[in-house]
Amino acid sequence: MNKIYNPERKDWEAVLKRPTQEVDQIEGIVNQIFKEIKTNGDEVIKKYTQQFDGVALENNKVTELELEEGINLVSEELKNAILQAKSNIEVFHKAQRTSKIEVETTEGVACWQEKRPIQKVGLYIPGGTAPLFSTILMLAVPAAIAGCKEVVLCTPPNKEGKINPAILYTASLCGVTQIFKVGGIQAIAGMTFGTETLPKVYKIFGPGNQYVTVAKQIATKFGVAIDMPAGPSELLVMADDSANAAFVASDLLSQAEHGVDSQVILVSTSKQLIESVEKEVETQIEVLPRKEIAIQAIANSKLIFVEEEQTAIDLINEYGPEHYILCVENEAFFLENTFNAGSVFIGNYTPESAGDYASGTNHTLPTNGYAKQYSGVNLDSFMKSMTFQKISDKGIQAIGRTIEVMAEAEGLLAHKNAVTLRLKSLKNN
């Protein structure tokens, strides 16, 4: 791993650079596929499924028979684990419900706000080297709680044209309405425009590789909302001598095994801990089934030593990590001063894996520094806040002149007239 000692602030941008391609390197490919799918729909999706996933499909929609067969292949132990995780995620997300907010701003002027579900949502679930059925829980559970009517799921097929049974089981369990064997850019484009079989949706959710991330951003140009820019996974651990080096190393590796473009960072005020963690990483990585992937990700990763806690927190906020583990004695200082992070894991016995699967919080989080301005997925992500107002005759009389004066000052006389007519009618009655 790359060890860096007391980096100067002027060098932080270079030190904290993510191992991702520039958008303009990917955008051309994405735009071309979007253009083709907008024009020729399913035919183009089939072409790119064969090109990128190595399988020719006659039908990209999962049938009831395929769903049933897949569910039967999932072990009872895994089903029980998924059920427990689902229960915890439901508890946490149901607690996020808010009631109607109603207020009378002036006598006779009633204003209120209510939340309504987004009717059609699309979920993108990565398949590739790891079938992320856990992401279905993170997206479909809050979609169900919100009351979304149509929940469309896209995920890439394997070389046999099949979808991992755990994905099928979890989708069925969580109320997904349609499942499609479509991955990558073509899935995002298909849900953006709609095709002969794949429905158009109003908002797209889910993580993916750099191509999927850029595709989601381009989808917004065509009137489709997205949850956030969520690309390759990342983790930053802040630890001092109170941390367990073996635990820290295991957390770094748990993110490194996601993909070769993942990044993990350790920031510490202890040189001894950095040395111990480095040794633990070297030992633990040897027994990982996804060792080759983890090795490449670790090559992009950093062990950063800083002298002062204030310097450490400044650096962490500058990075804005997706996942942020905090194992320090001065816990309160770091929590009070952390402003940029997707999800925070506190203490030696809170692995990031808990949030990925079963603690209840959502693991669909902003990456690539977007934690500075984006939240992770939550119940409100699947809802819209709508405002309402009802004004009585007394109410329009109370605020009518204010509206007239302001409208006239802006030169919008039709706005003024809409009020003037009402005030005159009341005066004549």
Sequential DSSP letters for 7-61 = --GGGHHHHT--S---HHHHHHHHHHHHHHHHHHTHHHHHHHHHHHHS---S--B
Which residues lie across from 396 on neighbouring strands?
none
Phi first, then psi: give them for residue 391, nearest 5 degrees. -115, 130
Would you tell me how many other CB atoms lie within 10 Å of the CB of residue 213?
25
Cβ proximity of 378 and 142 under 8 Å: yes
Q: What is the CA radius of gyration of the chain?
A: 25
| 279 Cα distance to chain centroid | 33
Question: What is the pLDDT, as a whole number, of residue 131?
Answer: 86
Q: Tokens for 328, please give them.
A: 């320090």
Specify the pLDDT at position 230.
Answer: 79
Q: What is the pLDDT along the chain (429 residues), one digit of tens a residue?
A: 899 999 999 999 999 998 876 677 789 999 999 999 999 999 999 999 999 999 999 999 999 999 999 999 999 999 999 999 999 999 999 999 999 999 999 999 999 999 999 999 999 999 866 789 999 999 999 999 999 999 999 999 999 999 999 999 999 999 999 999 999 999 999 999 999 999 999 999 998 888 998 999 999 999 999 999 877 889 999 999 999 999 999 999 999 998 888 999 999 999 999 999 999 999 999 999 999 999 999 998 999 999 999 999 999 999 999 999 999 999 999 999 999 999 999 999 999 999 999 999 999 999 999 999 999 999 999 999 999 999 999 999 999 999 999 999 999 999 999 999 999 999 987
User: Shortest CA distance to 51 belongs to which of 208, 191, 211, 167?
Assistant: 211
Binding residues for NAD(+): 124, 186, 209
Binding-site residues from annotation: 124, 186, 209, 233, 255, 258, 323, 356, 410, 415
pLDDT of residue 22: 65
Q: Which position has the token pair 């755990």?
A: 166
Residue stretches of the annotated binding site for substrate = 233, 255, 258, 323, 356, 410, 415
Rounded CA gap, 145 and 77, in Å?
A: 26
Q: How many CA atoms lie within 13 A of 236 on its CB side?
A: 27
Query: Distance (Å, rounded) from C-alpha 339 to C-alpha 327?
Result: 17
pTM: 0.93
Other C-beta atoms within 10 Å of 289: how many? 8
Provide the strand spans (E) within 240-301: 263-268
| Residues pairing with 272 in the sheet | none
The predicted pLDDT at position 259 comes to 85
Domains and CATH numbers, the chain: 23-100+118-227 (3.40.50.1980), 232-375 (3.40.50.1980), 392-428 (1.20.5.1300)
- List residues with catalytic annotation: 322-323
Q: Which residues are annotated as a binding site for Zn(2+)?
A: 255, 258, 356, 415
Alpha-carbon distance of 103 to 158, in angstroms, equals 54
